[in-house]
Structure 1
Amino acid sequence: MADLKLGKLPDRTPVKLAITITPDLQSALQSYANLYASTYGVEEPVAELIPAMLVAFLESDRSFARTRATTK
C-alpha cells in the first residue's frame, strides 16, 4: 500500500435532517440571512446557512471539542 500524505477522505454523503423550530427562531434566522446578504452581497437561503452555523458553533465549543477528542 502506498504511503500517501493525504489520508482517506471521510464519508461526505449528505444527510437530510428535518427539524421543527419556533417562529422566533425562524425570524432570527431570516434576519441573519438578510444581514449575511447585505454583508457579502450574496443571498443564501436559511437552509444553506444553518449547516455552516452549526459547524461554527460546534467548533467554538471548547468543552465539546475536548470531550470529542478523547472519545474518538
Structure 2
Amino acid sequence: MSKLKLGPIVDEKPVKLTVELPAALHRDLVAYAEVLGRETGQAVPDPAKLIGPMIQRFMATDRAFGKARRIVSSTAAH
C-alpha cells in the first residue's frame, strides 16, 4: 500500500473557519479519511479535520512559500 502524505491527526484547539468546497472535493476528503483511518489503525477522522493538516503539509513543502516567508521575516527584522 502506498504511504499517504498525512499521518495521524493531532487533536489541538481549533480555530473555526467556514469554507465552501466543491462536492467532488468533499467526496475525495471522505474517501481520504477512510483510507487514512485504515492506514493509521485509528477511527475514521471527520473529513473536515483533514483540511488543516493538508494545508499545513502543503505550505511546509512549498519551497517558493518558504523562501518568500524567509525574505519577509528577514526584511521585517531590519
Shorter-normalised TM range: 0.7 to 0.9
Deviation at 1:15, TM superposition (A): 2.5
| 1:14 CA drift (Å) | 4.1
Match of 1:57 in 2: 58
Instruction: Give me the identity figure in percent.
Output: 30
Superposed counterparts of 1:41-52, under 5 Å: 41-42=41-42, 43-52=44-53
**In structure 1, what is the equivalent of residue 38 of structure 2?**
38
Instruction: Give unpaired runs (5+ residues) of structure 1.
Output: 1-12
Of structures 1 and 2, the one with the larger relative CO (CA 8 A, separation 6+) is 2
1:15 is paired with a residue whose SS is: coil
Distance 1:26 1:62 in 2: 27
Determine which structure has more spread, i.e. the larger CA radius of gyration. Answer: 1
Q: Tell me which amino acid in the other structure corresponds to 1:59.
A: A
Q: How far did residue 18 of structure 1 move?
A: 0.5
Q: Is the counterpart of residue 18 in structure 1 residue 18 in structure 2?
A: yes
The CA RMSD measured in Å over matched residues stands at 1.7
Q: Distance in 1 between matches of 2:36 and 2:14?
A: 24
Q: CA deviation at 1:69?
A: 1.1
Distance 1:19 1:38 in 2: 27
* Aligned positions, number: 61
